[in-house]
Structure 1
């Protein structure tokens, strides 16, 4: 004998679909910072509780175009101190490794940071002495960006883009920028040279 099934009124409630993640283009007008804005970011970092660590992080990530993962995994063994100071950069995403020179101001900050954390194998560590995660280091840069009072919201990867645009604006060869940033394909590098005003420096000259 078949059971008698009662008919039930559908109780579906049609709600408005929540909007997805806002695109980067909608959040900010550009995905890089100017050298002046980088200086403001470093200045804001120096005013925080972990001033030396945070300012050095901004400087190193910007100068060497580091991704968040690369900055988190940066070890003191990758730094060569001395007259020919250099940084052995290991790239994520199967990028090409390279050896970058370390300039004087950056070297002084790294030297001071090494003295402050002599027992750490990693260059940038949390308050607990453990390496940062990419999410944590990105949150840190966002907070510093807010303190700097910049006109656009900041995230960690903008430091890498800022490096590329700075080198392109300085007229550095595209292939050299590709090697500096560790791009496997030059197509990823041309985005910087395509927007560089240096391309148009001879336009409208008499």
Structure 2
């Protein structure tokens, strides 16, 4: 195992703490950053055949960066994953260069490999409704069926991430007209609650056999503990198989569908960004690409090539 110098390791830990405290990065993001930058530092140590202190890290060249990327691609890593790793390394070096007072051009000028961005795969409105109906049929326990419908309706009707829906507590019920959601990185946003979601949660609460304290999880597993995301993923998998829907019809696809259907109805992109809790507008703009792709399909069908 390649040993990273103590100075480099300490700098990495300080940067990760900075990401948590000042940037509001989630633990998943911090863990990914730690793995990506640690791999880079280990490669540079082995590539240079000596421990890399902070002064040595300040002298990284374009050739060193190319060698790292070539080695990473040689392990079979995809272009998208390598671009993510490079982004983490650049973020670390941007911070380190400001702290240590060196010029990080060699690292920051390194270009990420090109890759085809995957567009969100939303469901058509009718398919989303059919999926919710099918979800209701997956359990022989009425309260479990009502629970699953309530969760999936929140994903589609309010654009919540599954983790956000399952983080709701008894204190959030009955659902108000707007919810204050704490999303990725601890960022808060205000989300309007559609009547269908309020009704679905009310129906579930009437049937739920467990007491609903203010701090208790709103959505319960069969034995009364907090509901896990995997349970909703499984019930949706069974429902989509019955309907013949593709494997992309996941809980997260319902959130994509929320955004796309709002856009179809003339929703403002900035407003949709706020509702989804996207830090960057470019993330939300992917839905515009989805809409454009759909229009092109219609165009191709209406205007066949000779």
Considering the TM-score relative to the shorter chain, is it more than 0.5?
Answer: yes
Is the counterpart of residue 48 in structure 1 residue 48 in structure 2? Answer: no
Q: Any conservation in 1 of the 2:138–2:238 contact (CA below 8 Å)?
A: no
Query: Please, what TM-score do these two structures have when normalized by structure 2?
Result: 0.50
Aligned to 1:35: 125
- Residue 185 of structure 2 aligns to a residue whose secondary structure is coil
Q: Any conservation in 1 of the 2:132–2:149 contact (CA below 8 Å)?
A: yes
Is the counterpart of residue 147 in structure 1 residue 242 in structure 2? Answer: yes
Q: Could you list the runs of 5+ residues in structure 2 that have no partner in the other structure?
A: 1-75, 78-117, 300-306
User: How does 1:92-107 map onto structure 2 within 5 Å?
Assistant: 93-94=184-185, 96-107=187-198
Distance 1:100 1:80, change over 3 A: farther
Aligned to 1:196: 291
What is the rounded CA distance, in whole Å, between the counterparts of 2:165 and 2:158 in structure 1? 10
Aligned to 2:26: none
What is the rounded CA distance, in whole Å, between the counterparts of 2:241 and 2:170 in structure 1? 29
Q: Any conservation in 1 of the 2:155–2:165 contact (CA below 8 Å)?
A: yes
Aligned length in residues: 175
Aligned to 1:123: 218
Distance 1:149 1:29, change over 3 A: farther
Shift of 1:157: 1.2
- Residue 99 of structure 1 aligns to a residue whose secondary structure is strand
Shift of 1:39: 0.5
Is the counterpart of residue 88 in structure 1 residue 183 in structure 2? Answer: no
Shift of 1:76: 2.9
Q: Please, what is the CA RMSD of the aligned residues?
A: 3.1
Q: Deviations over 1:49-94 (max 9, x none)?
A: 232111111111111222222122122323455xx63322221x22
Q: Any conservation in 1 of the 2:120–2:256 contact (CA below 8 Å)?
A: no
Could you list the runs of 4 or more consecutive aligned residues of structure 1 that deviate by over 6 angstroms after TM superposition? none
What is the rounded CA distance, in whole Å, between the counterparts of 1:197 and 1:175 in structure 2? 18
Which piece of structure 1 moves more, 38-47 or 28-37?
28-37
Structure that is richer in helix per residue: 2
Q: Could you list the runs of 5+ residues in structure 1 that have no partner in the other structure?
A: 1-18, 21-27
What is the rounded CA distance, in whole Å, between the counterparts of 1:128 and 1:29 in structure 2? 38
Shift of 1:178: 0.4
What is the rounded CA distance, in whole Å, between the counterparts of 2:245 and 2:154 in structure 1? 20
What is the rounded CA distance, in whole Å, between the counterparts of 2:294 and 2:228 in structure 1? 38
What is the rounded CA distance, in whole Å, between the counterparts of 2:251 and 2:294 in structure 1? 27
Select the residue among 64, 78, 92 that pairs with 2:172: 78
Shift of 1:151: 4.5
Query: Please, what TM-score do these two structures have when normalized by structure 1?
Result: 0.72
